[in-house]
Amino acid sequence: MNTATQTIELKRGPQASANALQPGYFARRDVWDWLFAVLLLAGTAWAFMRYDASMDVYEQSILAGAAPALIWLGWFWRPLRALMAVVAGLSLVAISLYQTPAGAADLARADQVFLLKYFLSSQSAILWMSMLFFMSTLFYWVGMFSRDGNTFESLGSRLAWIAVTLALVGTMVRWYESHQIGAGIGHIPVSNLYEVFVLFCWMTAAFYLYYEDQYKTRSMGAFVMLVVSAAVGFLLWYAVVREAGEIQPLVPALQSWWMKLHVPANFIGYGTFAIAAMLAFAYLIKQSAAETRWYKLAPLWLLGIVLCFEPIVFRSSAAEKGGSYWFIYFGISALIVATIMFGRRRIAARLPALELLDDVMYKAIAVGFAFFTIATVLGAFWAAEAWGGYWSWDPKETWALIVWLNYAAWLHMRLMKGLRGTVAAWWALVGLAVTTFAFLGVNMFLSGLHSYGEL
């Protein structure tokens, strides 16, 4: 080895040399990794053979691309392998139960077959998801104040996993049900407020569970699951009181394969931005736990205003319909705020270090910003196909740009100026308010080309 080579090796250091000796990515895969990959590829091949007639070339391309993506996800985070297997198994059981002895599908069996009626039809699975997310939130909060907090938080985590599973089963079965209603009606269930709120609930919970596993702490779940439960509360009101949970044919502008890519990417952004905001809220609570001055408890007052404002807005938007539902929501919200107010010292003691909360908040925003950027670009392509132009300054597009600029500025200040702590946390909370208006407020108060989910 000549002198120049030795100098380079010395500059690299022992860590670089150790990395060079590690086996390659594929060499590190064990037998279970390869078995999972084989099973997933076999399932993809079966889906091609079974449902080829129902797919166009774009859907076939998406299915082909989904296979390696899901394999990578299963290798990246192993709990996803069990999740995929259980969801696939239960979805296939549900589909088989819809079959009549003559071999045809009959949606009326959803009210006749026990497992479909109470567990595996799309509506039943999503209702179970809703109840389990509420229970998960409750157990996480009981863990905050219990001497045996780890046990209750573990129960909360397990219930969240089951809720995510049933949400995905409900989504897959609803997709199948839509194809049985009539020719040309079948579509991926991400086309209206009911369907995207289900998407938001399970996706937000799944991302949180990943951070919970990576950082080996469950105490963040009490705060993150609050936003999931709030979404479930809206979902139940929208489905039961507004009777908006039925499968509907797509309007012409939504009959595009771009929707299958744009909407999920968008909601990865929404979900991770929500996680970041709730961890920012936890950061501020922990930071101000010992404060007694009212103006130092601004995060709590802000939460109270938001939770109390929401019932007023949605009650009036529904022309008084379902007002009693929102009064109950108001009461539960007031109880949550009071619990956090009077138990903030105990909560702060249970929460992880401020540095960890800040780090997870940053990583959640970074992931969300990347996917929101992809979704915005995909949305421009979709707009060009549907309306003949990439950008039209429609209210939804304008507010999407505001959301993007907000988080772009947050990340710039973080990476270039070292933004940390209180300012970063408040900014993340404001970011969630902006994102919520872009998602729901535009539909409620503004009109435009994107008004598909009016309240």
Domain borders along the chain are 194-217+236-455
Instruction: List, for residues 118-136, the tens digit of each pLDDT value.
Output: 999 999 999 999 999 999 9
Q: Are 269 and 439 in contact (CB under 8 A)?
A: no
| pLDDT at 309 (0 to 100) | 58
| pLDDT at 7 (0 to 100) | 47
Q: Are 375 and 262 in contact (CB under 8 A)?
A: yes
- For the chain, list residues with pLDDT below 50: 4-5, 7-11, 18, 316-320
Q: Six-digit token pair at 327?
A: 């009064």
Locate tokens 């507010």: which residue?
A: 399
Q: Which of 135, 122, 190 is nearest to 162 (CA)?
A: 135
When computed from its CA atoms, the radius of gyration of the chain, rounded to whole angstroms, is 24
What distances in angstroms separate CA 188 from CA 175, 199, 207, 298, 300, one per listed residue? 5, 11, 21, 42, 39
Please provide the size of the chain in residues: 455
| pLDDT at 385 (0 to 100) | 83
Q: Six-digit token pair at 360?
A: 């997870």
Query: CA 222, CA 285: separation in Å to the nearest integer?
Result: 13
Q: Six-digit token pair at 38?
A: 């084989």
99 three-class SS: strand
| pLDDT at 280 (0 to 100) | 93
Q: Is the dihedral of CA 290, 350, 287, 279 positive or negative?
A: negative
Locate tokens 């872009």: which residue?
A: 438
Q: Which of 264, 226, 222, 241 is nearest to 357 (CA)?
A: 222
Separate counts of helices (H) and strands (E) for the chain: 17, 0
Q: Are 270 and 439 in contact (CB under 8 A)?
A: yes
Q: Which residues contact 268 (CB under 8 A, 6 or more apart)?
A: 203, 207, 367, 368, 371, 372, 375
- Write the burial class of residue 380 (CB in 10 Å: 0-12 exposed, 13-18 middle, 19+ buried): middle
| pLDDT at 10 (0 to 100) | 45
Residue 29 sits at φ, ψ, to 5 deg, of -75, 135
Instruction: List, for residues 309-356, the tens digit of each pLDDT value.
Output: 555 555 544 444 555 766 777 778 778 887 887 888 899 999 999 999
Q: How many CA atoms lie within 13 A of 176 on its CB side?
A: 28
Q: What 8-state DSSP symbol labels residue 329? A: H
